[in-house]
Structure 1
Amino acid sequence: PLIGLSMDTLKEERWQGDRDLFVTRATELGADVLVQSANSDDTRQISEVQALISRRVDVLVIVPHNGGAMAKAVNMAHDAGIPVLAYDRLITDCDLDLYMTFDNEKVGELQAQFLVDHLPKDRKKKIVRIYGAKTDNNALLYKRGQDKVLAPLIDRSEIDVVHEDWTQDWKPENAKKIASAAITKAGANFDAILASNDGTAGGAIQALSEEGLAGKVLVTGQDAELSACQRIVNGIQAMTIYKPLSQLAKQAAEAATKMARSKPVFALGKINNGKIEVPSILLDVVVVTKENMMDTVVKDGFHKAAEVYRSLPETQQSR
């Protein structure tokens, strides 16, 4: 069978990993994979899907740049009799066949709970919130999860959000601008930056570094990117959320191969995409800190210890 994989972008290390793991597993199962990457451009992604359809793929796996815009791609695929699996990001308002992702609302809850647990209890806490891209449904889910934890504390005035904004296209340079705006507005007078992923955390930390605040302000993240893991062991970023991508990519490759062969896929979850309850498979996520780095990210082979601890003096390296 032939699988078409249409990706939003391959800029981040994270997505390169997904692609490699997916292709490897699909190949093991006897499938061929055609990969396209749209460089965060909706129009380009639609035309790439059209190209994959004309190559007569048996199934389409899509990581949408914009979950709303890609409904058109799903409809085109269905017109050609091709089923569609949305990978890690939901495609809305269409008859999507399958959705595979992590428990994204849980990601937001864990980020916010970590922040609450690690900030001073005896006074009002000031935080900056950096959300993801508005075009990515997951960014809304991370925020919803964060809100679950934070809303009661904000209502009771235990937490004050001094600045908040959405990061266009998830770009670190845009997150850096948001953090700089927060510093201009609030001075150095805040406790934490609730950054929705490691890219936005990295951008925010650049802004903090320029003001000599890196390591003094708690910063959250997500994706367990190598640079973030290095920042965590160096005490500059507080935590990240590890999403076992190998599980997602392998299970998605297995599901896609079954779909390509017209075999059933068992999906216990249901997620509403505005049109239907999409059969969904949700995987668990893990909070990663300096303390459990070796037992999670390194143990899983996601990163090598030598890479994570490369920037630390020998004596401080975790054994």
Structure 2
Amino acid sequence: MRKILLYVVVVIGFLSLMAVVSACEAEKEQAVVNGESSTADRSKNKGTAEVDEKVKVGFTMDTLVEERWLRDREMFRDAVKALGAEVEILAANGDDILQIAHAESLISQGVDVLVVVPHNAEATATIVKKAHMAGIKVMAYDRLVKNADIDMYVSFDNEKVGELQAAAITQLVPKGRYVYIGGAITDNNAHLFKKGVFNVLQPFIDKGDITVVFDQWTKDWTPANAKENMKAALKANNNQIDAVICANDATAGGVIEALAEQGLAGKIPVSGQDAELAGAQRIVEGTQTMTVYKPLKALTQKAAEIAVMMAKGESVEINRKVNNGKIEVPSVLLLPIAVDKTNIEETIITDGFHSREEVFRNLGE
């Protein structure tokens, strides 16, 4: 009798245990159906936007010294927030070590995607490696990261920028002695601008119509360094210079200061780019010939859209692939616009990039 009772107890206990296990399995299946998966499942589904957590974008910037980068920061932040995502932005003030530290901080915060404006195109390859080790995709914004497995590049066609600069100046000075004042040698964009410039200049050089008598990079893109370069160019050529192509408006500002000291400001065509307010003012005043306008609203909006899509694991439509020395990087490149006195009103002023009052302030209009 005792054996029978013991057998009954064992059977009842086994049946009870099976019921508990079945209930747990059913509850787990229902949770997955309702989207309430485990931590591992949530991590797996993160890329498909099947969770309600807000996407978080990390943005590490080289600098905020130049006017345009302040605009990039604000417009990018607004565009990301408008898409319902969060964004954390850090600027490194031209310090490679600090930028890597910023990237590490953003990675440790668990951002879903990392956007980088590199100070040094080579050094920031380290950032890409660190992000990928954490399972985070990386987008290069405006400037390409070299020799790294970067996931996306969003910018303007920077080679085209240089071509627009050179086309504008050669139209005015088809023959003569040229000076080229480049950007920072560490910035890949500076190399692309220069390549575009010489795409246009080379046929003139080959014919003997144009001679480049001075060609120098500008450390950190600063106007002060550009001014020193231009002073050296003027001294080496006894002021016998017919045209200057500058990589951006900041360097053009330094160049024009050097020209002004020799009484040459406004007498020698000078190019720029970025459509900075100071550059636009110099154009209407007559000391700078042209700039290249890169509508930042279009860039920041497109970059924000793509960053959020990347964070959600969605596919992105590209229009180019750009070689960064290691891979063909999937890219989205926008078209820049040449701006001079003839179209400044219908471009940067009409777009609200600068107000007419700001641009013409020094002329009292």
Q: Per-residue displacement from partner, 1:191-239 (whole Å, max 9, x unpaired)?
A: 1111110010000001011111110111000000000000000001000
In 1, Cα distance between equivalents of 2:113 and 2:142:
16
Q: TM-score with structure 1 length normalisation?
A: 0.96
In 1, Cα distance between equivalents of 2:194 and 2:165:
10
Secondary structure of the residue that 1:311 maps to in structure 2?
helix
Structure 1, unpaired ranges of 5+ = 315-319
Q: Per-residue displacement from partner, 1:277-304 (whole Å, max 9, x unpaired)?
A: 1100000010000110000001111111
In 1, Cα distance between equivalents of 2:238 and 2:245:
17
Structure 2: which amino acid aligns with 1:197?
N
In 2, Cα distance between equivalents of 1:222 and 1:47:
30
Structure 1: which amino acid aligns with 2:309?
K
Query: For residue 11 of structure 1, what is the aligned residue in structure 2?
Result: 65
Q: TM-score with structure 2 length normalisation?
A: 0.84
Query: For residue 56 of structure 1, what is the aligned residue in structure 2?
Result: 110
1:191 matched to 2:245? The reply is no
Please identify which structure carries the higher helix content. 2
In 2, Cα distance between equivalents of 1:144 and 1:252:
25
Larger Rg over CA atoms? 2
Deviant stretches of 4+, over 3 Å? none
Query: For residue 39 of structure 1, what is the aligned residue in structure 2?
Result: 93
In 2, Cα distance between equivalents of 1:126 and 1:217:
11
Q: Per-residue displacement from partner, 1:103-123 (whole Å, max 9, x unpaired)?
A: 11111111111111011x5xx
Secondary structure of the residue that 2:362 maps to in structure 1?
coil
1:310 matched to 2:364? The reply is no
User: How much has 1:187 moved relative to structure 2?
Assistant: 2.1
Query: For residue 210 of structure 1, what is the aligned residue in structure 2?
Result: 261
Query: For residue 320 of structure 2, what is the aligned residue in structure 1?
Result: 269
In 1, Cα distance between equivalents of 2:208 and 2:273:
27
Query: For residue 163 of structure 2, what is the aligned residue in structure 1?
Result: 109
Query: For residue 223 of structure 1, what is the aligned residue in structure 2?
Result: 274
2:76 to 16, 22, 26: 22
1:166 to 217, 222, 230: 217
Query: For residue 86 of structure 1, what is the aligned residue in structure 2?
Result: 140
Give identity over the alignment, percent. Answer: 52
Secondary structure of the residue that 2:241 maps to in structure 1?
coil
1:69 matched to 2:120? The reply is no
1:242 matched to 2:293? The reply is yes
Q: Per-residue displacement from partner, 1:92-145 (whole Å, max 9, x unpaired)?
A: 1111110001011111111111111011x5xx4011110111111111111111
Query: For residue 45 of structure 2, what is the aligned residue in structure 1?
Result: none
Secondary structure of the residue that 1:6 maps to in structure 2?
strand
User: How much has 1:257 moved relative to structure 2?
Assistant: 1.1
Query: For residue 142 of structure 1, what is the aligned residue in structure 2?
Result: 193
